């Protein structure tokens, strides 16, 4: 019994290994506006091989939102929240946000606000600002895994862990 406890306690002193093969089936983007009363949230799930968005992100024009993104693995019961792993290993992860206007030259700016231990952007938190024009677009969210010194804060090098396109309506 003493040997078992000793072995277990030694294992607890080791840092948690990074699971390179983690599964992410669900991405939720939550936006809280700057006081105008229109928060927004959308989830994209891929449990069948196809990305399915539950509802478009409906945003107000000329508005600033505080955004947070959460990631989970719904292939397990109960679902596993992967967000803490990304936050803990932020020095190896980078979210990239790209907005593509589909109508009326809509505009959206995403500014990452959370940083890793090396003061480089992570992207679990951001400020989203919409432009003046109403219309539709797509917000692409890509999570890059950048281990072993790949992360510079400006490079898109590394493997893609997640890539989804959120439908956006700006009113």
Range of the domain at 84: 23-170
Name the β-bridge partners of 31: 40, 67
Number of structural domains (the chain) is 1
User: What average pLDDT does this structure show over 155-164?
Assistant: 92
Quick one: average pLDDT of 137-159?
91
Does 128 reside within a domain? Answer: yes
Q: Kindly state whether residue 60 falls inside one of the protein's structural domains.
A: yes
What sections of the chain are H helices per DSSP? 2-13, 83-88
Q: 115-143 pLDDT, tens per residue?
A: 999 999 999 999 999 999 999 999 999 99
Whether residue 5 is contained in a domain is answered as no
C-alpha 119/C-alpha 132 separation (Å) is 32
**pLDDT exceeds cutoff 90 at 88:** yes
On whether residue 7 sits in a domain, the answer given is no
Q: Is residue 97 part of a domain?
A: yes
In the prediction, which pLDDT does 35 show? 78
Asked if 130 and 170 count as a contact pair (C-beta separation under 8 A), the reply is: yes
Q: Does the residue 78 lie in any domain?
A: yes
Query: Within a domain: residue 17?
Result: no
What are the DSSP E strand ranges found in the chain? 26-33, 40-45, 52-53, 57-59, 64-73, 80-81, 93-101, 108-112, 125-130, 135-145, 159-170
Q: Quick one: average pLDDT of 50-67?
A: 96
Asked if residue 108 lies in contact with residue 128, where contact means CB atoms within 8 angstroms, the answer is yes
Tell me, yes or no, whether 162 lies in a domain.
Answer: yes
Q: Answer whether residue 154 shows pLDDT above 60.
A: yes
Distance CA 136, CA 69 (A): 21
**Tell me, what's the pLDDT at 21?**
57
- C-alpha separations of 159 from 53, 150, 155 in Å: 23, 10, 12
Task: Over range 88-97, report the average pLDDT.
Answer: 96
């Amino acid at each position: 019994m003493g040997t078992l406890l000793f072995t277990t306690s030694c294992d607890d002193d080791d840092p948690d290994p990074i699971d390179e093969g983690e599964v992410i089936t669900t991405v939720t983007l939550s936006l809280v506006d700057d006081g105008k009363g229109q928060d927004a949230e959308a989830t994209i799930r891929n449990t069948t091989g196809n990305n399915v968005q539950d509802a478009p992100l409906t945003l107000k024009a000329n508005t600033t939102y505080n955004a947070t993104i959460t990631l989970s693995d719904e292939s397990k019961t109960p679902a596993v929240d992967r967000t803490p792993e990304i936050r803990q290993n932020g020095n190896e992860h980078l979210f990239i946000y790209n907005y593509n206007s589909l109508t009326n030259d809509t505009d959206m700016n995403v500014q990452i606000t959370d940083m890793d231990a090396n003061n480089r952007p992570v992207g679990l938190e951001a400020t989203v600002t919409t432009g003046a024009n109403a219309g539709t677009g797509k917000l692409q969210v890509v999570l890059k895994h950048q281990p072993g010194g790949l992360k510079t804060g400006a490079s898109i090098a590394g493997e893609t862990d997640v890539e989804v396109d959120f439908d956006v309506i700006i009113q």
